[in-house]
Amino acid sequence: MEKPLLQFHLDPDAAHIAVLWLQALKSERRMALKTLEAYAHDMAQFGEFLAGHLGEAASVKMLTELTASDFRSFMAKRRTAGIQSRSLARQMSAIRSFFRHAERRGDFKCAALGVVRAPKISHSVPRPLPENSARRVAAADVFENDEAWVQARDAAVLTLLYACGLRISEALSLTVKQAQTNPIVVLGKGGKTRIVPVVQVARDAISTYLKLCPLALSPNEPLFRGVKGGALSPRIIQLLMERMRGALNLPDSATPHALRHSFASHLLGAGADLRVIQDLLGHASLSSTQVYTEVNRTHLLEQYRKAYPR
């Protein structure tokens, strides 16, 4: 990822190190483009703060001499701007990554960053939909005035999210040829691939969509299309979920990604092995999957309290 040096608000030498850092994240850690853009934005905000805080664009020497107070001042300013703990923690993670990269390369080292604590993040767990609600959403039959092929398309997309645990970006990136194989090879975050079996209900939904779709679909082109023939935008599915929340009286947490959470949680509740769920979701670490054990425990406690309020 090439970025004009001035966008980092650092002096040319320091900004050049930032460019090399982003290139390393892309080539060595294979970070997704969206993550790289977020890290670049985070570093630019830090550089902009330093320019005002120090009175000029920060040089390599200035970065070396930053104190814990300088980093805390940055966090305080971001807090004043209304940033939440989770976003600030991610921003500090990006800044630490940049400084670690510079130290590994021998460019400079800032000892003060090591004593700065990351913001505390309130613990939260995914919020899956109840099984009957997830099934109703995946059917996409709430709005009868939609065209038949559009309704079939929406049902196929939502079924892939719930029945196969795909991310919305993964479902919408499928080609016609890919969708007609089983299992399918999914390209996930960071360019990582995984193999996902397509259950019968998802195969049927895709087959119905292909039969009804009035557009000419070539094997290597996107499977899901908008009404004008272009690749289907994620925003269309997000707006569909917003409409469904109103029609089905669902909470604000009912998003396309909540269907993926529902997939994992319902599988775990049915007795599936945690490692298997990890592979199906494409999680690099088992700890990312283990959060669903807490989801199920939280749900069980809620049901207990309803049954025994005293």
- The pLDDT of residue 2: 46
| Paired strand residues for 57 | none
Instruction: Give the Cα separation of 148 and 173 in Å (integer).
Output: 22
- The pLDDT score that the predictor gives to residue 191 is 76
Q: In this model, does residue 105 exceed pLDDT 90?
A: yes
Mean pLDDT of 81-101: 90
Residue 137: is its pLDDT beyond 50?
Answer: yes
- H-only helix segments in 83-185: 85-105, 131-139, 148-164, 168-172, 176-179
Does residue 145 carry a pLDDT above 90? no
Long-range contacts of 60-67 (CB under 8 A, 24+ apart): 60/11, 60/13, 60/14, 60/17, 60/107, 60/108, 61/108, 62/14, 63/10, 63/14, 63/99, 63/102, 63/108, 63/110, 64/108, 64/109, 64/110, 65/110, 66/110, 66/112, 66/113, 67/112
pLDDT of residue 4: 45
Is-contact 295 195, C-beta < 8 A? no
- The catalytic residue positions are 167, 189, 257, 260, 283, 292
Give pLDDT, residue 5. Answer: 47
CATH of region 131-307: 1.10.443.10
Considering only CA atoms, which of 290, 271, 280 is closest in space to residue 165? Answer: 280
| pLDDT tens track for 35-88 | 888 999 999 999 999 999 999 999 999 999 999 999 999 999 998 888 888 888
Please state the φ and ψ torsions of residue 217, each to the nearest 5 degrees: -115, 115
**Average pLDDT taken over every residue of the chain:** 88
State pLDDT tens for residues 287-308: 778 777 766 665 545 555 665 6
pLDDT at 136 over 50: yes
Structure confidence at residue 239 (pLDDT) = 94
Fold of 5-115: DNA polymerase; domain 1 (1.10.150)
* pLDDT (average), residues 84-112: 92
Instruction: Give the single-character DSSP code of 249.
Output: T
Query: Which of these, 92, 109, 101, 138, lies nearest to 16 by C-alpha position?
Result: 101
Mean pLDDT of 233-255: 93
Mean pLDDT of 258-275: 89
Where exactly are the structural domains of the chain?
5-115, 131-307
